[in-house]
Chains A and B, each alone.
Chain A
């Protein structure tokens, strides 16, 4: 008999495996439990031949790891690189083209983004104390976000004259604009954040040197990634673009935080609140769509060596100190009070 509880359980398992294989591939314990269960079912006398065949199909599906081996290699090469060789001189920010930078930023960021398994989005795992274990890939995305933003600010602030800093800003703005064309909204936000950071934003003399076009472009990019209406402009742009895209992960995380904290798991009758679950599923599903469609960009190790070079990076404090060195604070005499310090 094909029907019956067992057949239904097997159908659910098969469906789970096909739709959400990452649950099993990322959690070896779950994989083992499924294997053990299937083995037991196969050994059972009551199991029909047809059900046994179905069991084999499930096992075969389980053995097919959808993660692409090439991607794993590439990920290790780019993100886990331990070699700290000094950069070749031709691999400086000035020598690399804006489109090279934008493309490789996009390629690496999508690689990182697409690796987040859906279960990391559940139960606010990235906000809990055990987040390092429960949501390592979400954390990697935010770490990298901060790192790229710091790279942008460091590159600007490592120059000693206002015009050279302005030139660096202009180039990053072009990089951001190429990223916008590539629908990499995450990188646009990284770059705009760096321009708005305390150390870059206060450089009055530098900003005066920017061309009208650059200023207009910055205004346009700022509008695109404005936090107004929970990033309504970016959401709209995302909706209107053809994937591949890289959305800014943060706004999905806020949606999830609101859904989780604003609605209860059970409804007033003590039953599971399915509309909450559906809302969560909707967010996760949208992320998955963007994860699955990949960019067709070749890896250029020369550029990624630059983008991941830790030597250039300054920390927040050094950035601010450097900023004060290049353009010291004016001390408005009216408001100056005893005890005010310069930093």
Chain B
């Protein structure tokens, strides 16, 4: 993604099981709640948000696969040209955390270190029903080079923070790859979209040092 004149444009995919509340998170973030009039526009485009990080203008387009979780085969089409992924689990549902691990594996396999990951434990308003060990989740995120944050879409807690953290990480990653002289075009959406163009792969596996 080119950063023309200090502008950054990032694509973020939102992944997670059906009932973890990822749609509520993104709806909270983008317009707190959308009314009926919004819906037609919603159907016409993904959700977008503009940020200003240390004077840098950052545009986010957020892709939510809500409802399509069972169409596993579709995954690569969604995340192939994305810069960041938000992987949401429900802190009361151990299974949803295991699913996050699968997503991480898949994303690293396809995108290597080219993608910034943010793992989010949602529904902290239900802390007393917690089934996912906080320290374990934290350690896991660290081991795969991902950020780990907690949020509650219901209480509107931690929502802005998680998108901001991820945006910062993506800016840092892009600046780093630009200064390394790596062509930023290889992670550009427009070049990746054409599947016939092949990019060299990077070793996957568990990166010691993720971009986040």
Query: Per-residue 0/1 for B1-36: is the Cβ within 8 Å of any A Cβ (1 yes, 0 no)?
Result: 000000000000000001100011001000001111
| Set of chain A residues within 8 Å of B202, measured between Cβ atoms | 332, 335
In angstroms, how far is the closest chain B Cβ from the Cβ of A315?
11
A127 beta carbon closer than 8 Å to chain B: yes
Interface size class on chain B is 35 or more
Taken together as a complex, chains A and B put the C-alpha atoms of A256 and B23 apart, in Å, by 11
Contact status B70-A142, CB under 8 Å: yes
**A: which residues have CB within 8 A of B?**
124, 126-129, 139, 142-143, 145-146, 149-150, 189-190, 192-198, 201-202, 204, 207-208, 210, 215, 218-219, 222, 225-230, 232, 250-251, 253-259, 261-263, 275-276, 279, 320, 329-332, 335-337, 339-343
Count CB-based A-B contacts (< 8 Å): 154
Name the contact of A329 in the complex, choosing from B66, B71, B203 (C-beta under 8 A): B203
| Set of chain A residues within 8 Å of B68, measured between Cβ atoms | 250-251, 253-254
**A contact patch SS:** helix
Taken together as a complex, chains A and B put the C-alpha atoms of A190 and B24 apart, in Å, by 28
**B: which residues have CB within 8 A of A?**
18-19, 23-24, 27, 33-36, 38-39, 42-46, 63-74, 76-78, 80, 106, 109-110, 193-196, 198, 200-208
Name the contact of B70 in the complex, choosing from A143, A196, A329, A337 (C-beta under 8 A): A143
| Set of chain A residues within 8 Å of B33, measured between Cβ atoms | 262
In angstroms, how far is the closest chain A Cβ from the Cβ of B204?
7
Q: A250-B71, A253-B67 are in contact. Are A195 and B195 (CB under 8 A)?
A: yes
| Set of chain A residues within 8 Å of B34, measured between Cβ atoms | 262-263
Q: A198-B109, A279-B36 are in contact. Are A227 and B67 (CB under 8 A)?
A: no
Taken together as a complex, chains A and B put the C-alpha atoms of A261 and B153 apart, in Å, by 11
The chain B residue with its CB closest to the CB of A255 is: B43
Contact status B193-A226, CB under 8 Å: yes
